[in-house]
Amino acid sequence: MWEGQIGNFNKIEYLEFIDNFSAEYNISPALKVLGNISLTKRTTEANKFASPLSNAFYDKTGNDLKDRGQYNFDAMNETQMDGNLTLNYNKTLGKSNFNVALGSSMQMRKSDRKSIEAIGFTNDRFTGINFARKYADKAPGGDKTEERLAGWFGTLNYSYQNRFLMDATLRTDGSSKFGSESRMATFWSYGLGWNLHNEEFLRNTFVSQLKLRATTGLTGDVNFPAYLSNTTYSYYTGDWYSTGVGAVFTAYGNSSLKWQRTNNYDLGAEIGLFKDRVYFSPRYYYKHTKDLLADVNTPPSTGFNSYKENMGEMVNEGWEVNLRANVIRKRNFSVNLNGSFTHNRNEITKISDALKAYNDEVDKQQNEKDELRSVPLLRYKEGESVYTYYAVRSLGIDPENGREVFLTLDGKRTYEYDVRNTVAVGNSTPFMDGYFGGNVVWGNFMLEVSFYTKFGGDYYNQTLLDRVENANPWFNVDSRAMSQRWKKPGDVTFYKDIANRDETRTTSRFIQDENRVELKSVYLSYDAPQSFYSRLKVKSLRCSITMNDLAYWSSIKAERGIDYPFARNFTFALSTRF
């Protein structure tokens, strides 16, 4: 409450300009050329002010009093350009239809970020950065990135009587993100489909749509920073030497870095009944990813801690199903239901020796760094998922003495915590998750509701660890830190001895199975009648309200908004067309 009335602010301004230009030239009725270019310019400016009266500066004394107050300024300029040129041929020969496309595409992205920090403000009314006494004792920050992607592609689509379908794609892409040895890569896809609803035996039946499809292909991924293949340096701008400015390694570049590739296999169907009033689409997929990118740890004597390398394989397998039903369909009243659910299994099938060394380093860091001692850290192990929780197994609190009982790797009981006994204790991947909801239309009113749900899957309840067991009782704490701790022999409790002030480490005791339902959004709108908005010289008039994150039901209790502010949003909109 105090911080909210003393002049603090955190403001972000955002401006985006998008220009799209396209052209089409018809060489003949079957052959045409398509061209498209898009330019996006985006600027973001963030201004954050901490008042000199803020509690953050409570411990300032003496000469440091004049450095109270802080202003952070951050500006980002981004430019993005996308373009493509395609030659398209479409021809029908008898009962067959061919569509062939050949083309090229390119992308270019640049970003430039600058940041400064200033300190020393006389009061909380002089909030401009120009009122600061000086810059903070560090150099201004900033970074620039630039990346390019170019490729060539060819596609073939074939259909016979709109019953049998075939699609094939071949493309070659090159990205500036990769090393000079492997910037180019070739990818492909192939698919078959069968429109059973166009077969004679299903025409004029209650089956309005029945399509079977199977696809396979090889895809690539470039979703990582642009500079990993290049060695980068940081300059000592604060210290100048007689020979110039010094520099030090920031990251070691890997010139052999190559595309992360995924083999995809997909089976699916689209089924519509009663003129598509009932529709569902099941799908099974299998994805085998090779050349996973990961960090390789290096000796400190090299001048840098790690570099990126392709060194792993992973499998994702699962199913999806989409549902839609038009329950009631009348002239002024309709009710529609929908749902989309997914089940996924993730497994690391191969890791390199470097990743095994990474796991050892994680154990070491978790044992030495205070901020990591009570947090489940990611490890890579064959046969496990990237969503696996790793911790020391716990048998709970001993009723005789209030101490936690652990299990060693060979299953022996002990009171001594050892990070080397860390094993897989849970998996955050749910058995099933997805969205469901629907809408009701009545006259000019429409109500739309959307829920999210997940069943199964583990959750590491950091709230119980940080806010209860490791909480400092000299400050405001959760009441369970006093009422539900072990106090005397014979107490059967979830929490350890109330007199034990030792820090609780990462254990399986805080793994909980979670089932959850969230009311994600509610949308209500009203379209004004034409007799009303025509008098306003407009073509439509709609007023609406959107409400997000209204309710939350879960089988566990955990605080929300610790890492990122949690908020319920309400938005009112008035829209029209002229």
108-125 tens-digit pLDDT: 999 999 999 999 999 888
% helix, strand, coil for the chain, step of 5: 10, 55, 30
Tell me the backbone φ, ψ of residue 468, rounded to 5 degrees. -120, -70
The rounded percent of the chain whose pLDDT value lies above 90 is 61
Mean pLDDT score of the chain: 89
In this predicted model, what pLDDT tens digit does every residue of 51-76 receive, in sequence order? 999 998 988 888 889 999 999 999 99
The position carrying tokens 């192990």 is: 381
| Per-residue pLDDT, 36 | 96
What whole-number distance in Å separates Cα of residue 457 and Cα of residue 319?
16
pLDDT band at 309 (very low <50, low <70, confident <90, very high): low
Contact 360, 374 (CB under 8 A): no
The rounded percent of the chain whose pLDDT value lies above 70 is 94
Q: Is the pLDDT of residue 573 over 90?
A: yes
Q: Is the pLDDT of residue 301 over 60?
A: no
pLDDT band at 246 (very low <50, low <70, confident <90, very high): confident
Mean pLDDT along residues 506-531: 94
| Per-residue pLDDT, 203 | 87
Which of 73-87, 364-378, 563-577: highest mean pLDDT? 73-87
Residues with Cβ within 8 Å of residue 228, at least 6 apart in sequence: 177, 251, 253, 254, 257, 293, 307, 308
pLDDT band at 4 (very low <50, low <70, confident <90, very high): confident
pLDDT band at 475 (very low <50, low <70, confident <90, very high): confident
For 51-176, strand residue ranges (E) read: 70-93, 96-119, 134-135, 141-160, 164-175
In this predicted model, what pLDDT tens digit does every residue of 75-107 receive, in sequence order? 999 999 999 999 999 999 989 999 999 999 999
Contact 543, 508 (CB under 8 A): no
Mean pLDDT along residues 456-477: 87
| Per-residue pLDDT, 269 | 96
In this predicted model, what pLDDT tens digit does every residue of 390-400 receive, in sequence order? 999 999 999 99
| Per-residue pLDDT, 561 | 76
| Phi-psi sector, 162: left (phi>0), alpha (psi -120 to 50), beta | left
| Per-residue pLDDT, 305 | 59
The closest alpha carbon to 40, from 21, 23, 22, 16, belongs to: 16
| Per-residue pLDDT, 223 | 66
| Per-residue pLDDT, 307 | 61
Tell me the backbone φ, ψ of residue 417, rounded to 5 degrees. -80, 130
| Per-residue pLDDT, 34 | 96
| Per-residue pLDDT, 525 | 96
| Per-residue pLDDT, 224 | 66
For 161-252, strand residue ranges (E) read: 164-175, 184-195, 207-221, 232-241, 244-251
| Per-residue pLDDT, 476 | 79
The closest alpha carbon to 352, from 387, 385, 380, belongs to: 380
Mean pLDDT along residues 227-248: 76
Mean pLDDT along residues 20-32: 95
Give the 3-state secondary structure of residue 271. Answer: strand
| Per-residue pLDDT, 172 | 93
| Per-residue pLDDT, 566 | 80
Mean pLDDT along residues 185-192: 94
More confident residue, 179 or 43: 43
In this predicted model, what pLDDT tens digit does every residue of 204-223 receive, in sequence order? 899 999 999 999 999 987 76
Q: Is the pLDDT of residue 292 over 90?
A: no
